[in-house]
Amino acid sequence: MFNTIFYSPLDQFEVTSLLSFNFPLLGLSNITLTNLGLYSILILLIVVGLHIYGDNDSNLVPNKWSISFESSFASLSSMVKDQIGALSEVYLPFIYSLFFFVLIGNLISNVPYSYAVNASAIATLGLSITIFMGVTILAVSTHKIKFFSFFIPEGTPLPLVPLIVLIEVISYFARAISLGVRLFANLCAGHSLLKILSTFLYKLFSSSLVIAILTLIPFAIFLGLIGLEIAVSFIQSFVLTLLVCSYLKDAIYLH
């Protein structure tokens, strides 16, 4: 008889405290470093470090990292230009930084026993709400009172205006949640599936030799799912930045 403890696959997304600092001189002030904060700092350092390493200013022959970053910059620049148009250069640094922060966070989460920052609802919803607020402020400051015409599509019959405005307002404010939920849900579902399968495969490999050999077949499928999850990391980063570009386009041109 085996005494086995089963842990929930969702435990890997729990935010836990790592270090806590108290400052009695400041009353009740307390600074806590969580796994979410630690990995956020780690992602920032990796993004900055990779770009410093890929800097080609002092190299006659560019290295592979430099070529990769230049290609990524060209692709993102083209995407932002297609979406936003003439004002793309103003918002390109923000889109570029956002893309690599989300991408590196997604890739790090595929490392075993690491923490998935972008699979945390706190991080993704905080990011999406902040972007939504910034886009709204941009739209209001650019168009002033004309901004509210965004909620009344051109050619709407007068009797349908109240209903259309209600639908458009709900749809607009749903952006604040949908942007983060899309990223959170995809990564959370993928990582939970990998956690369940890895636990199951571990128990099969730990049993008899015959079963362990037969487990090589589902293990190959498991490796394929890991490759799919890495692909999802790139796809979700691109989708998020593309949606942010479309939101900026709506804020600038009120389409």
**Rounded distance, CA 196 to CA 142, Å?**
49
pTM, entire model: 0.83
Q: Which residues lie closer than 8 Å to 55 by C-beta, 6 or more apart?
A: 66
**Tell me, what's the pLDDT at 46?**
93
Query: What count of other Cβ atoms lies within 10 Å of the Cβ of residue 168?
Result: 15
149-191 confidence digits (pLDDT tens): 888 877 778 788 788 888 888 988 888 888 888 888 888 888 8
What is the identity of the amino acid at 21?
A: F
Say how far apart CA 201 and CA 173 lie, in whole Å.
43
Residue the block writes with tokens 């989300």: 102
* pLDDT tens-digit readout, 26-62: 555 677 788 888 899 999 999 999 888 877 766 666 7
Considering the chain, what is the average pLDDT of its residues?
83
CB 85 within 8 A of CB 31: no
Pairwise pLDDT comparison (66 vs 104), residue with the higher score: 104
Per residue in 197-233, pLDDT tens?
888 888 888 887 888 888 888 888 888 888 998 999 9
Is residue 92 within 8 A of residue 76, CB to CB? The reply is: yes
